[in-house]
Structure 1
Amino acid sequence: MSQIKKQGRPKSEEKSRLILQAASRLFLKDGFTKTSMDGIAKASGVSKQTVYSHFDSKDVLFQSAISSKCRAYQLDTPEVFESASHEPGITECLHKIGRQYIRLIQDPETVGIFRVIIAEAVNNAHVASLFYQAGPKRSLDALGHTIWQLGKGDLTQEKANQLAIDYCALLKGEFHTMLLCGIHPAMNDKHIHEHVGQAAEKIAVLFAHYRNK
C-alpha cells in the first residue's frame, strides 16, 4: 500500500502542510472525484511534482486529510487511548474518548466530508472505503484495543471490538443522522457531557457483563 513519504527538513514539512490544507479544502468543496492533483498543486502554490514528492497518490492524500482531521481531535493517535486507559474505570475512560468523538463528528468540516462521501459513494465505492479505513476503522481499532486492555485478560479482543462498535453507534445514534440532514444543531458542552455519559454507562454495563461471564 502507498505510504506518505517521510519528511525531512522543516521547509519540506511546511510544504507538506500547505499541500494537505489545500487538498482538504478542495476535497470538501469539490469532492474526491473532481479534485485533481493539478488542482491541489495550484491551490497550494507548488508544482505537481512537489505534490507527488510528498504524497504518492490522490488516495494517500485523501486519507491523510481524513487522518489529519481525526488527529486534530486526538482520535488518530495511540496516545489519547493510552491516556484514557489510565482513567480510574471503564466509564471514565469512555467519557474521555466519547467527548472528543462527538466534537469530531459534529465539526463542520467533518459533517461536510461525510456528505461528500455519501454523495459519491453510489458511483464510487472506492472513496467510501478510503474514508472508512482512514477514519472510522482506525478509531474503532484503537478503541477496541483500549477496551481489551481494560479487560485485563477477562475480555476477548472480539468482544472488545464489538463494544467499541456499539459505543460509537450509541454516540452517533439519531443525533448524527439528523445532524447530517441539517435538522439538528451541534451539541454544546453540557449536552455532550450528558449524551456521552448515557452511552458510556450502557457500555460499562455490557463490559462488566462480558468480564463476569
Structure 2
Amino acid sequence: MTDLTPRSAAKRQQIMDAALTVFLENGYVGASMDQVAAIAAVSKQTVYKQFKDKEHLFRSIIEDIGDRVGDPFVEISERVAETDDVERAIHTLAGTFVTTIMDPRVQQTRRLVIGEAARFPALGTAYWEGGFGRALTTVAGCFARLHERGLLKVEDPATAANHFAGLLLWIPSNRVMFHGRTDAVSAEELAAFAASGARAFLAAYGTHP
C-alpha cells in the first residue's frame, strides 16, 4: 500500500504489531482477524480496510520484518576483521552472535516462519536471505579478511561461517525450538555456549596449535 497519510501509516503499523503478537502466540492457522482487531484496539472493519485478508496481513508482517531489520553484525564484523587479537575478537563476535540470534522475539519469529514455510515458501526464502543468510555472508567476509591477514586458516569462508553459527547455536536454538519456550536457555548458559563455541572454532580455524 502506497501514499499512506501519517495517521493511516501509524494505524497500519499498529495493526501489524498486534498481528505479529497474535501469529506468534497462535500460529497462522490459529490466528484470526478478530484477535488482531482486539489486540490492536481497532474495529475488524479497520483491519480489513488495511489488509484484505489474513494471508495478506501475514505476508505484510514478514516482509516488513525483513525491510526493517538491518544486518546487526556489519559493525562488529568490520572491527573483528581488523583486530590483532583474534582470539579475543572471535569470543566477542561469538557473544554478540549468540545474544542477537537467541533474542526471544527473533526465535519466536523464526519458529513462526519455519512453521509456515511450506505454505509460504517465498516468504521463508526472503526471511532467510534478508536475515540469517545475510548475517552469515557478513561473518564469512570477516573470516576471509582474517585469513588474508594470516590470523585464521579459512579456505572456504562461507563454510567457516556456517560452522561458527552451528557451534554457537545448535544447542540453545534447538532447545528453544523443541521446548517451545524462549526461557528454555538461561543467560548463563548462553554465555557458556558462546565461549565453548568460540574455543572450538579457534581450535579448528586458528593459526596456532
Q: Is the structural similarity TM-score above 0.5?
A: yes
Q: Over aligned residue pairs, what C-alpha RMSD do you find?
A: 4.3
Give the TM-score, by structure 2 length.
0.67
Match of 1:161 in 2: 158
Out of 134, 137, 147, the position equivalent to 2:130 is 134
Out of 111, 114, 120, the position equivalent to 1:118 is 114
Q: Deviations over 1:151-189 (max 9, x none)?
A: 22657986111111001011112332122111772231x
Larger Rg: 2
C-alpha distance in 2 between matches for 1:80 and 1:67: 21
The unaligned stretches of length 5 or more in structure 2 are 52-56
Match of 2:205 in 1: 207
- The number of aligned residues is 198
Match of 1:121, SS state, is coil
Cα 1:82–1:12, aligned 2, differ >3 Å: closer, same or farther? Answer: farther
Answer with 110-119 or 41-50: which moved more. Answer: 41-50
C-alpha distance in 2 between matches for 1:208 and 1:16: 49
**Kept after mapping to 2: 8 A contact 1:147/1:160:** yes
Cα 1:21–1:97, aligned 2, differ >3 Å: closer, same or farther? Answer: farther
Out of 154, 179, 195, the position equivalent to 2:176 is 179
The unaligned stretches of length 5 or more in structure 1 are 52-56
Cα deviation for residue 107 of structure 1 reads 2.2
Cα 1:117–1:165, aligned 2, differ >3 Å: closer, same or farther? Answer: same
Give the TM-score, by structure 1 length.
0.66
Give the alignment of 1:79-158 within 5 angstroms: 79-152=75-148
**Kept after mapping to 2: 8 A contact 1:63/1:134:** no
Answer with 175-184 or 195-204: which moved more. Answer: 175-184
C-alpha distance in 2 between matches for 1:140 and 1:159: 13
Cα 1:15–1:146, aligned 2, differ >3 Å: closer, same or farther? Answer: farther
C-alpha distance in 1 between matches for 2:120 and 2:144: 35
C-alpha distance in 2 between matches for 1:60 and 1:165: 29
Cα deviation for residue 207 of structure 1 reads 2.3
